[in-house]
Amino acid sequence: MFLIYCPVSAQLTVQGTVFDISKVNYVEHVRVVSTGGMIAFTDSLGRYHIMVTEKDSISFIYLNKPTQQFAVASIADPGRFDISLRVPVKGKYSMLKEVTVFAKTYRADSLENRKAYADIYDYRKPRIETSISPTGGVGMDIAELVNMFRFRRNKRMKAFQQRLEAEEQEKYVNYRFSKPYVRRVTGLQSPELDSFIVWYRPDYEFTRAADEIQFNEYILNALYHFQKITSNSPARKPED
């Protein structure tokens, strides 16, 4: 009995996002074709994923116009192969493709900070509690009782906890309302961008609750207000 060995190329997934010429707006209904015969389409957020082999090449077809072919073997990161087509697309909202990257960085920093100051984040006001001795007897927790009368220590711990929480909220707003994000959505450049960042900085509660669409809508509405004010008086600060 003879066996014939036929090497089979390993399959992998190439995925990413397709943007228009501005590198801001997503392009949907783009056909993604591989030389191996697989076809995929971008969704409303410009995202696609397609199964290929290392020997394949892929191309993107929009309005019956194909791009060049991209060899899969030359794609450095198949998990995030983003491209920009030479076509303008009008979109109601402008999106930031680096959101995921910034989010991961923020979460990592936040987790590391909470781990370093775990005793402060977990601090609660001392109260009378009971404890159980090794013999099974129930009595008062002496440590908690002593801490109840350490007023200066308790006040410092609470103040430190509040300061850490405020700093974490400040960092979260900084990460979502960052200068690269706002520049990409609004198209503003410094010094106008610097003023916009200061004047229209959102509060933490809204920033935490808003999804990406709501957050972009807020920025675009703020941009309209900003342009309306600065068209006649560039140095004027918007009134509350």
More confident residue, 131 or 77: 77
- In this predicted model, what pLDDT tens digit does every residue of 143-199 receive, in sequence order? 454 455 455 655 666 666 667 677 888 888 888 899 998 998 899 998 999 999 999
Tell me what the pLDDT averaged over the chain comes to: 75
Over 50: is that where the pLDDT of 43 sits?
yes
What pLDDT does residue 164 have?
67
Q: Report d(CA 207, CA 215) in Å as an integer.
A: 7
Peptide bond into 238 cis (omega under 30): no
Instruction: Spell 45-55 as b/e; 16+ CB within 10 A means b.
Output: ebebebebbee
Q: Report d(CA 59, CA 74) in Å as an integer.
A: 13
What pLDDT does residue 171 have?
84
- In this predicted model, what pLDDT tens digit does every residue of 219-238 receive, in sequence order? 999 999 999 888 765 444 44
**The CATH number of the domain covering residues in 11-84:** 2.60.40.4130
- Per-domain boundaries in the chain: 11-84, 99-230
- In this predicted model, what pLDDT tens digit does every residue of 105-142 receive, in sequence order? 445 455 455 554 455 445 455 454 444 445 544 444 44
